[in-house]
């Protein structure tokens, strides 16, 4: 099965309406709000589709920041005492029919690659994620994301780790 990641603006509404990951908020977002947010610059959404145009999954990325005081102690040394620039993976979901097939990891890797490429021109210290639950936290933890701040579901991955991944791969 051939799969490609495309901008949400290239995806027909009917294909988005057929998407269901089992989380109503994520389904509603991709079906009703993601295209508008993509066009307005609030968040860029990318969609994994198969050769038949079926939506297998999606993610949304944007720029963000975290407060200096929320940084893990081990990372505070040498950092400015004002909000630190980051990139955010705001949403990542796989259709129920395709869960358990390692597509989430493939989408995460695609998101990190896009962020890595953007960070050749725009500064970000880390990628942050607000995991929706413990299952999502376990998914991101498998890829070396760590908790920060007081919320155990607030996760980050330093850009230095991401840069090493893609610079080694080139």
Give catalytic residues, as residue numbers.
Answer: 140
Q: What pLDDT is stored for residue 170 in this prediction?
A: 55
Angle in degrees, CA 130, 134, 135, rounded to 5: 100
User: Percent of the chain having pLDDT more than 70?
Assistant: 98
| pTM, full prediction | 0.93
| Domain extents in the chain | 3-169
Q: What pLDDT is stored for residue 167 in this prediction?
A: 84
User: Do 157 and 119 touch, CB atoms closer than 8 A?
Assistant: no
pLDDT-flagged residues of the chain (< 70)? 169-170
**For tokens 């005081």, what's the residue?**
69
Question: What is the architecture, at CATH level 2, of domain 3-169?
Answer: 3-Layer(aba) Sandwich (3.40)
The pLDDT tens digits for 83-107 are: 999 999 999 999 999 999 999 999 9
């Amino acid at each position: 099965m051939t799969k490609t990641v495309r901008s949400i603006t290239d995806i027909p509404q009917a294909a988005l309406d057929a998407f269901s990951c089992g989380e109503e908020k994520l389904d509603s977002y991709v079906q009703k709000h993601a295209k508008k947010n993509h066009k307005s610059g609030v968040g860029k959404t990318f969609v994994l589709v198969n050769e038949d145009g079926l939506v297998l999954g999606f993610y949304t990325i944007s720029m963000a920041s975290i407060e200096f005081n929320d940084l893990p102690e081990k990372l505070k040394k040498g950092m400015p005492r004002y909000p630190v620039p980051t990139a955010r993976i705001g949403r990542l979901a796989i259709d129920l029919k395709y869960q358990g097939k390692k597509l989430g990891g493939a989408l995460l890797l695609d998101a990190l690659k896009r962020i890595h490429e953007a960070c050749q021109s725009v500064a970000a210290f880390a990628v942050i994620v607000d995991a929706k639950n413990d299952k999502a936290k376990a998914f991101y933890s498998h890829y070396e994301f760590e908790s920060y701040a007081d919320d155990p579901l607030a996760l980050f991955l330093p850009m230095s780790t991401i840069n090493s991944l893609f610079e080694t791969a080139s």
